[in-house]
């Protein structure tokens, strides 16, 4: 197995221009996202008339000056091919000093399929993306490129089927956008999926938040002053309630080996959040009917790992967070990444951190979580 020194725990692709023509069955081509031009002549994905365009600017900008970053005006000919081509991604990884990556889908693209009432179209779109990742992008080097299988929103049984199908294609873990049952709130109806994930040793990732019908919306490229605060604070505003829902539900008492990944949440907020959650649990557990075996903080340290991009405060407070409960990521190729200076940023952020703790956060935690030191095999 490779000698992993730096593992990117959260990065992405930009869908290549050919993805739907090549991977989506022909009968659905007329409803597939279409590549069009934005107002500045750049490339953008259209999800249908009247819907906001998904411009590729800020999601395909590794190495750009901050002053040059914008949503519109960029084309597939002017951004790095590593954004969507697996072989070229390896080149960019080598240049940046990254040994392996865990790769997440664009949730705006996934919503195009998951928000459609046609279940066959929904299923076909999710499978097309997973097939592209397994058989095209990550096939460039399966020991360095790991895709996280996107789950559909078609009920628990279909989630389990897709989980198993993707496991056989090489997925090491999965990402859920909604609760597997399709309900707005987590419940025991979701248990069979989490049982399967535990049995298959497939960690379950949640990228910032869970989508719910009662607050559905969005889909465009956020712009304006509010966008800065929304993007900067999304992780530690959106994920703590999800953590509470998972722990207070008793799910982790029923499935104690289940692992949950909070993706792009950052980590500096965690010590204060755990203190407050434990305090309110003690005071309110009886009258709210919450009946769990341990304090909420116990489950965080046993069952959770959160990823961060730039979090000096989090690294400094790693003992309160848990050295084993955090992992570095770059967010490549999104505008939050520091490519090709990841090693420089890491060195500055980890100044004074003992080498064994630095190695755990940069690589070993992910190696152990996903079994990268073991030969990949089906259960």
Residues 144-171 as b or e (16 or more Cβ within 10 Å = b): bbbbbbbbbbbbbebbbebbbebbebbb
pLDDT in tens, 233-261: 777 778 999 999 999 999 999 999 999 99
- Tell me whether residue 51 is in a domain: no
- The CATH number that applies at residue 103 is 3.20.20.140
> What is the separation of C-alpha 283 from the centre of its chain, rounded to a whole number of angstroms?
34
> What is the separation of C-alpha 117 from the centre of its chain, rounded to a whole number of angstroms?
24
- Tell me whether residue 71 is in a domain: no
**Which structural domain, as residue segments, surrounds residue 331?**
7-16+81-370
pTM: 0.94
> What is the pLDDT at residue 122?
97
- Tell me whether residue 61 is in a domain: no
- Tell me whether residue 200 is in a domain: yes
pLDDT in tens, 350-371: 999 999 999 999 999 999 999 9
- Tell me whether residue 183 is in a domain: yes
> What is the pLDDT at residue 213?
80
Residue 324: how many other CB atoms lie within 10 Å: 17
pLDDT in tens, 277-307: 999 999 999 999 999 999 999 999 999 999 9
> What is the pLDDT at residue 229?
64
Q: Give the Cα separation of 121 and 218 in Å (integer).
A: 21
Q: How many distinct structural domains can be found in the chain?
A: 1
Q: Give the Cα separation of 128 and 313 in Å (integer).
A: 40
Q: Do strands 54-55 and 304-308 pair parallel, antiparallel, or not at all (unpaired)?
A: unpaired
- Tell me whether residue 74 is in a domain: no
- Tell me whether residue 267 is in a domain: yes
Q: Which of 107, 104, 300 is nearest to 205 (CA)?
A: 104
- Tell me whether residue 164 is in a domain: yes
Q: What is the pLDDT along the chain (379 residues), one digit of tens a residue?
A: 678 999 999 999 999 999 999 999 999 999 999 999 999 999 999 999 999 999 999 899 899 888 988 999 999 999 999 999 999 999 999 999 999 999 999 888 999 999 999 999 999 999 999 999 999 999 999 999 999 999 999 999 999 999 999 999 999 999 999 999 999 999 999 999 999 999 999 999 999 889 888 766 545 555 666 666 666 677 777 899 999 999 999 999 999 999 999 999 999 999 999 999 999 999 999 999 999 999 999 999 999 999 999 999 999 999 999 999 999 999 999 998 999 999 999 999 999 999 999 999 999 999 999 999 865 554 4
Q: Give the Cα separation of 160 and 158 in Å (integer).
A: 5
């Amino acid at each position: 197995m490779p000698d992993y020194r730096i593992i990117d725990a959260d990065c992405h692709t930009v869908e290549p221009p050919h993805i739907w023509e090549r991977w989506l069955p022909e009968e659905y081509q007329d409803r597939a996202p279409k590549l069009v031009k934005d107002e500045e002549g750049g490339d953008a994905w259209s999800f249908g008339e009247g819907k906001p365009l998904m411009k590729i600017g800020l999601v395909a900008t590794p190495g750009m000056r901050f002053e040059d970053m914008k949503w519109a005006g960029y084309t597939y000919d002017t951004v790095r091919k590593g954004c969507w081509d697996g072989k070229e991604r390896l080149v960019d990884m080598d240049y940046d000093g990254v040994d392996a990556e865990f790769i997440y889908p664009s949730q705006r693209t996934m919503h195009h399929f998951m928000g459609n009432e046609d279940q066959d179209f929904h299923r076909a779109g999710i499978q097309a993306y997973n097939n592209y990742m397994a058989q095209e992008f990550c096939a460039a080097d399966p020991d360095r490129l790991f895709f996280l299988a996107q789950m559909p929103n078609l009920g628990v049984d279909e989630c389990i089927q897709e989980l198993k199908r993707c496991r056989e294609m090489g997925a090491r873990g999965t990402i859920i956008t909604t609760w597997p049952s399709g309900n707005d709130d987590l419940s025991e109806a979701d248990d069979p999926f989490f049982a399967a994930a535990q049995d298959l040793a497939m960690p379950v990732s949640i990228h910032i938040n869970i989508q719910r019908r009662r607050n559905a919306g969005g889909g465009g490229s956020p712009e304006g002053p509010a966008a800065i605060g929304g993007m900067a604070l999304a992780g530690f505003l959106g994920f703590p309630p999800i953590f509470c829902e998972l722990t207070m539900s008793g799910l982790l008492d029923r499935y104690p080996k289940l692992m949950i990944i909070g993706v792009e949440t950052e980590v500096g907020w965690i010590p204060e959040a755990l203190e407050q959650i434990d305090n309110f649990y003690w005071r309110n557990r009886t009258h709210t009917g919450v009946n769990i075996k341990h304090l909420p903080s116990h489950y965080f340290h046993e069952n959770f790992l959160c990823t961060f991009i730039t979090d000096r405060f989090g690294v400094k407070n790693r003992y309160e967070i848990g050295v084993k409960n955090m992992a570095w990521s770059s967010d490549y190729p999104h505008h939050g990444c520091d490519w090709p200076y990841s090693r420089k940023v890491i060195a500055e952020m980890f100044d004074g951190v003992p080498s064994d703790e630095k190695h755990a956060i940069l690589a070993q935690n992910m190696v152990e979580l996903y079994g990268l030191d073991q030969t990949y095999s089906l259960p």
